[in-house]
Amino acid sequence: MKLRNRNIEKLPTETFDALIIGGGINGAATAAALAGKGAKVALIDRGDFAGSTSMHSSNLVWGGIKYMESKDFALVRKLCKSRNHLIKSYPSTVQEIRFLTTISKGFRHSPRYLWAGTWLYWLMGNGFTKLPRLLSPNKIKQQEPIIDIEDAVGGFEYSDAYLHDNDARFVFNFVRHALNYGAIAANYVESLGAERVGDLWVTKAHNVMDGSTFDIHAKVLINAAGPWVDQHNELTGQKTTHHHLYSKGIHLIVPQLTDSQRVLAFFADDGRLFFVIPMGNRTCIGTTDTHMEHPEVDVTADDIAFVLENINKRLTLDQPLTQDDIISTRCGVRPLAIKDDQGSDRDFLQLSRKHVVDTNIESAHISIFGGKLTDCLNVGDEIAEDISRLGVSLSDPNFRWYGEPAKPVKQQFMDQAKRMNLDAMTASTSSELLSSRLWRRYADQAIPMLEKIRQDPAQGEILIEGTEYIRCEIEHARDHEMITQLEDFLRRRAKVSLVVPHEQLRHSTGLKEACRVLFGDDAENRFSQYFEQNRDTALPPTSTAV
């Protein structure tokens, strides 16, 4: 909270080159890019960073193989290159993973035809990943015994990538980069609208936590509000060439279905790709695609029934999955960019997730439509180019603002971890070695953690039962990660509430202690508030799951 409070004090006292509204993947990447290249940047979000679409993804970083069918090859090529670039830039976080796709009888294309498409996909990605394979039904069963091959006519295996950690964590690390480069960022600060006064934008900001309001002055206003871009443009009187359509998608988190560490892909009853995705010792299944009129959405009983029905049809589990197996849900909208002259009656299933940057030179206003995790580095660089055209001077325009620290820094961390035998402290329930996990999550910021553990081994002990989070991580989150509500930690900086049953958390003595670390004297109130609101885990009223 101290970091957030210090930043809020600075917001009304300075004039910024750019104010970014929205801390999802587009806003976070933009903040890191601009601050890294030398701009004076402010970033605000009315909720927590990555608090909407960016925390409800499939955790996949992929080149858009589904756009091959619509022959949008230019987009596929761009996304494949972006995927490759992310894998190279974040090797500890963005990692290649195999997708095993099963084709059923009566599908619109044969397995061989689709397999040929994966070769074209591989070539469009510069042959960066492992080669595709054609699979017979029997071979599929050998590879993944839980797949039901009774109606299968074959399948194929190819590579894309996924986030080893959760999507919201990936987004926050861009915010962290921006802060390191000198940006001023604050969550739970809402824009009530802005107007152009002379050469500056004056934005009326509302501190959601205490109700206070203040003005923020900036030369350029960047609307990165995700699904709410159109609504904020109405507040500022901006006319744009694009607007959003909304597609709701949900995922269910269930106990681990397979430990093969590959994605199982099927075509659901509605024709869309449907995934079984590894998530540590859990499995993420989905997704749905439902046209919505607005971005505020919830999981419905029909959504859950669709996912459970489709997964049970395609797997031979000892017992079919039911609502009682659901640990948590993810539910958000995909904001799909569409030109104004195309209307809103297009088939949204055929719309891509491409991003569009709409720049108004006259008013020094930029809107970012659409987008996805895979394309985030392109978004940052494109906004940096546009802001230069709006008269903002970047002192270091060629600065590489993204990526993990250089290999010697990682080697320094690993050598120090080895000398203190850190990996011997890895809990038996952990899915990876402690040194690997700390580096992946915190990079060079994990180096001070080693010294804390060396001085006090208790700092390396797991604090919250059923998780992998150790005491010094909680202290780091308190001091450096702007934890404002308990949900910020449980759901976004970490993925605790996704993988640990709600009732288990409610009775966790370790979580209560973590609250004391995070919130001090206000710990009991924050703990009670979180469970009263019962966010992230709530299922429709018909559910009997915890």
Per-residue pLDDT tens for 183-203?
999 999 999 999 999 999 999
Determine contact, residues 146/153, Cβ cutoff 8 Å: no
* Its pTM surpasses 0.85: yes
Neighbours of 540 (CB within 10 A): 16
Determine contact, residues 305/321, Cβ cutoff 8 Å: no
Report pLDDT for 543.
Answer: 40
Q: Where are the alpha helices (DSSP H) in 182-254?
A: 229-236
Determine contact, residues 249/333, Cβ cutoff 8 Å: yes
Topology of the domain comprising 1-54+167-241+350-390: FAD/NAD(P)-binding domain (3.50.50)
- Give residue 341's pLDDT band: very low, low, confident or very high (50, 70, 90): confident
Distances from the Cα of 370 to the Cα of 232, 356, 375, angstroms: 15, 6, 10
507 CB contacts (<8 Å, ≥6 apart)? none
Cα distance between the two ends of the chain: 31
Report pLDDT for 70.
Answer: 84
Checking if the pLDDT of 536 tops 70, the result is no
Q: How far apart are CA 139 and CA 515, in angstroms?
A: 49
User: Residue 522, SS3?
Assistant: helix
Structure tokens at 493: 């900086």
- For range 341-348, the mean pLDDT: 57
- Residue listed under structure tokens 């709530």: 538
- For range 532-538, the mean pLDDT: 63
Report pLDDT for 303.
Answer: 96
Q: How far apart are CA 239 and CA 225, in angstroms?
A: 16
- Give residue 21's pLDDT band: very low, low, confident or very high (50, 70, 90): very high
Checking if the pLDDT of 24 tops 70, the result is yes
- Report which secondary-structure segment, H or E, holds 61: strand 60-61
- For range 331-359, the mean pLDDT: 80
Q: What is the CATH number of domain 65-164+245-339?
A: 3.30.9.10
Position 143: which residue type? Q
Checking if the pLDDT of 475 tops 90, the result is yes
Q: How far apart are CA 469 and CA 323, in angstroms?
A: 28
206 CB contacts (<8 Å, ≥6 apart)? 46, 189, 190, 191, 192, 212, 213
Checking if the pLDDT of 75 tops 60, the result is yes
Per-residue pLDDT tens for 362-388?
999 999 999 999 999 999 999 999 999
Determine contact, residues 326/539, Cβ cutoff 8 Å: yes
- Residue listed under structure tokens 């978004």: 379
